[in-house]
Amino acid sequence: MSKGKGGANTKSEILQGTLDLMILKTLQAMGSLHGFGIARRLEQVSEDVLRLNEGTVYTSLLRLQQKGWIEAKWGASENNRKAKFYSITRRGLRQLVKETESWERISGVIGRVLRLGVRTP
């Protein structure tokens, strides 16, 4: 996974839990998708700031599947190729709520820390 704009050789260090959260949210919002479609959708939403290789996405998909947060079924892709389509489970929906709350809390703390020392008139 690497950053788009700002250096094609630069690696983006997204915590694995963050990628898991983004995948869960994508599946919740868009319904069943194959791995390539998930990766492309995340790149599109990030306006190409994120560049996700399939290996990174599939590692996360496997982890989410093992936790029971997503399920996979075989189907045909847009170009009529056999592909695994992933969808979020009820357990995954509950986890998405927890992870979203946690992310919002932590990102709020990070925001406050980054504003330390900034004096406003």
Average pLDDT over residues 6-12: 42
What's the number of domains the chain is made of? 1
Look up the domain containing 82 and give its range.
Answer: 2-114
Report whether pLDDT(20) > 90: yes
Segment (H or E) for 1: none
Q: Read out DSSP for 66-118?
A: HTTSEEEEEEE-TTS-EEEEEEE-HHHHHHHHHHHHHHHHHHHHHHHHHTTT-
CA separation for the pair 117, 81 (Å, rounded)? 55
pLDDT digits (tens, 9 = 90+) for 48-63: 888 888 788 999 999 9
Nearest-5° Cα angle at 28, 72 to 5: 100
> Residue 37: which of 50, 23, 49, 48 has the closest Cα?
23
Q: Which CATH number covers residue 102?
A: 1.10.10.10
Phi, psi of 80 (to 5 degrees): 60, 30
Report whether pLDDT(5) > 60: no
pLDDT digits (tens, 9 = 90+) for 93-104: 999 999 999 999
Domain membership flag for residue 120 = no
